[in-house]
Amino acid sequence: MLLKLFGLLDLAAAFVVLFLGLSIGMGRWLLILFVIYLVLKGLIYFSVIGLIDVLVGIVVLLFMVGAGWAFLKILAFASAVWLAQKGFLSLVR
């Protein structure tokens, strides 16, 4: 059950990161919520996958403070793909 919940939250985070990379505006509270979710989940379930979740949270945080580097946009799209596939696989297991 917890795996399905994390899968849904990872899919939602993927959409948030994708919209952020496409410069589609969202509420700051939503971004902060997903940064907290990704970083906490990555630290609690510490592994390589957890470390990637922490890095995705840092990418979103950098976007929030206004760092709009082109490399960061590429990282945002890669992060969205990572979260989407991880969320999808969590839901079908």
Mean pLDDT on 40-52:
87
Mean pLDDT on 21-36:
79
> Quick check: 77 and 18 in contact, CB under 8 A?
yes
The Cα 64–Cα 48 span in angstroms is 25
The maximal CA–CA distance of the chain, rounded, in angstroms, is: 38
pTM recorded for the entire structure: 0.82
